[in-house]
């Protein structure tokens, strides 16, 4: 008896395990299916990044409603029809891939799939949280769409030898910290566990109207609003989705969750449904992905055919891999001592009651409180303390608050803190706000620059850049 080609055997097994009767299609027979959890998750049950305008001061995104997933008919398996058998040979499998717009290139170790963009600009109501979905997925907060069966696409990644890992996730502390400390933002109730597993990179390929071939990293389509730079090119953790039981009427059925929910790749690594997708962002620090805007200058022209290219290594001619740096380890003296030596005009004694509660913390912790606390006076004290610490590792967090904090006193305290740090990086951060920030943030940045320089050079960023270049790295204020 003839033996099956090893690669084809993997593909056949993958198809047999993934292409089960689609419960998303079966839902058309009655009420939508309900997921039955087989075991409680080890991590926090739901931690979508639902910035909710709760007074934390940061101009955040509203939460998405994920209580139910949109349901539509599956293109491959219709309700009540027998499930298709695994492919008999390579030709049949290739035909199925072609029907779904998928190309498996074993020689190049690539998986390519045809698709399109769902949006070309940022939506305040529905921020981009999913990079790629299918019809019936969470399209209202997705950036791209493909018309393929996720389980069939997943079979290709299995054929490349990828093994499923785990996403970035939050794990509740044991014991839990005091409630008042959590509510004030002094501490978070969880620790962040980093992602693990195989990594893949995503590129987008198209041809311009003049015939020029273009290949770009998927991350090039987004700008980090904190620093107006492209997202870091760190790739995506392969998760491979999972099986679970769902209820269709009164009947339990086993479903491949990427097929059921219709989501393939996550761009916000704080999603509670990450393990239902094929890929998640390979990052421990979620902030770059939570502050994204669409960079329309990097997008393909409307109407051109585009192809998503998954690779195991960055493609030549695109961006190099950017490993995630470890968080800086910067010990600081007690917050009260820092505030006592601060020269900021915002050091007016407001919020002094918070200083004993802040105690002694390292720079990363102090930056975290600055960004997450709901209490303006606590955020202001953190900004004053960070300015007195005079360390460039605080610059991104302080610039973020100048750009986006809703409270004027906090914005101004953060701007003065950047000026008090007095380095080229901190002063250039103020100039970047002058150049590209909103009106109120620009005014605060200019006020801090005038204080640092002792002169008024107007509102043109070029004049301030020249002053920074002439003064070197000496401290201001």
* Mean model confidence pLDDT for the chain: 84
Neighbours of 215 (CB within 10 A): 14
pLDDT tier at 50 (50, 70, 90 boundaries)?
very low
- Identify the pLDDT of residue 44: 39
Q: Which of 10-19, 37-46, 453-462 has the lowest mean pLDDT?
A: 37-46
Q: How far apart are CA 182 and CA 163, in angstroms?
A: 37
Instruction: Pull the structure tokens for residue 466.
Output: 């020249």
pTM score of the predicted model: 0.81
Instruction: Give the pairing type, strands 142-146 and 130-133.
Output: parallel
Between residues 25 and 83, which one has the greater pLDDT? 83
287-333 pLDDT tens trace:
889 889 999 999 999 999 999 999 999 999 999 999 999 999 999 99
% of the chain residues with pLDDT over 70: 81
Per-residue pLDDT, averaged over 140-149, amounts to 96
63 and 50 in contact (C-beta within 8 Å)? yes
- Identify the pLDDT of residue 84: 60
pLDDT tier at 471 (50, 70, 90 boundaries)?
confident
pLDDT tier at 15 (50, 70, 90 boundaries)?
low
Q: Domains, the chain, ranges and CATH?
A: 6-311 (no CATH), 335-471 (1.25.10.10)
353-412 pLDDT tens trace:
999 999 999 999 999 999 999 999 999 999 999 999 999 999 999 999 999 999 999 999
pLDDT tier at 238 (50, 70, 90 boundaries)?
very high
- Identify the pLDDT of residue 27: 32
- Identify the pLDDT of residue 409: 97
Per-residue pLDDT, averaged over 11-21, amounts to 46
């Amino acid at each position: 008896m003839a033996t099956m080609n090893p690669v084809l055997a993997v593909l056949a097994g993958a198809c047999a395990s993934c292409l089960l009767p689609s419960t998303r299609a079966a839902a058309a027979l009655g009420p939508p299916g309900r997921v039955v959890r087989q075991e409680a998750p080890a991590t926090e049950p739901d931690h979508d990044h639902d910035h909710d305008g709760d007074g934390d001061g940061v101009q955040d995104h509203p939460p998405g409603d994920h209580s139910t997933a949109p349901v539509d008919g599956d293109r491959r398996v219709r309700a009540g029809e027998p499930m298709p058998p695994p492919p008999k040979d390579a030709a049949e499998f290739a035909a199925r891939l072609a029907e779904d717009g998928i190309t498996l290139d074993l020689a190049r170790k690539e998986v390519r799939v045809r698709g399109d963009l769902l949006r070309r600009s940022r939506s305040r109501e529905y921020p981009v949280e999913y990079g790629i979905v299918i019809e019936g997925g969470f399209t209202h907060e997705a950036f791209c769409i493909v018309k393929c069966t996720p389980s069939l696409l997943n079979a290709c990644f299995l054929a490349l030898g990828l093994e499923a890992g785990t996403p970035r996730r939050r794990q509740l502390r044991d014991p839990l910290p005091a409630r008042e400390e959590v509510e004030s933002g002094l501490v978070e109730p969880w620790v962040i566990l980093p992602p693990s597993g195989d990594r893949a990179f995503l590129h987008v390929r198209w041809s311009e109207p003049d015939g020029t071939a273009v290949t770009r990293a998927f991350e090039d389509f987004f700008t980090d609003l904190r620093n107006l730079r492209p997202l870091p090119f760190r790739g995506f953790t392969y998760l491979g989705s999972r099986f679970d039981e769902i209820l269709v009427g009164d009947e339990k059925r086993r479903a491949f969750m990427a097929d059921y929910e219709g989501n393939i790749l996550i761009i916000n690594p704080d999603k509670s449904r990450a393990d239902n997708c094929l890929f998640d962002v390979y990052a421990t620090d979620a902030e770059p992905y939570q502050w994204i805007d669409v960079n329309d200058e990097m997008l393909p022209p409307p109407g051109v055919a585009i192809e998503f290219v998954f690779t195991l290594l960055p493609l030549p001619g695109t961006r190099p891999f950017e490993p995630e740096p470890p968080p800086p380890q910067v010990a600081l003296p007690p917050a009260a001592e820092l505030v006592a030596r601060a020269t900021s005009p915002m050091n007016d004694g407001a919020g002094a009651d918070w200083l004993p509660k802040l105690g002694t913390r390292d720079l990363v912790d102090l930056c975290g409180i600055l960004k997450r606390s709901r209490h303006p006076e606590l955020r202001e004290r953190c900004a004053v303390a960070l300015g007195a610490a005079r360390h460039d590792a605080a610059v991104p967090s302080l610039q973020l608050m100048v750009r986006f904090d809703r409270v004027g006193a906090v914005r101004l305290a953060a701007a003065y803190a950047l000026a008090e740090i007095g380095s080229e990086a901190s002063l250039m951060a103020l100039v970047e706000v002058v150049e590209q920030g909103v009106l109120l943030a620009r005014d605060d940045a200019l006020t801090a620059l005038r204080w640092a320089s002792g002169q008024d050079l107007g509102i043109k960023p070029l004049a301030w850049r020249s002053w920074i270049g002439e003064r070197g790295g000496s401290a201001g204020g």
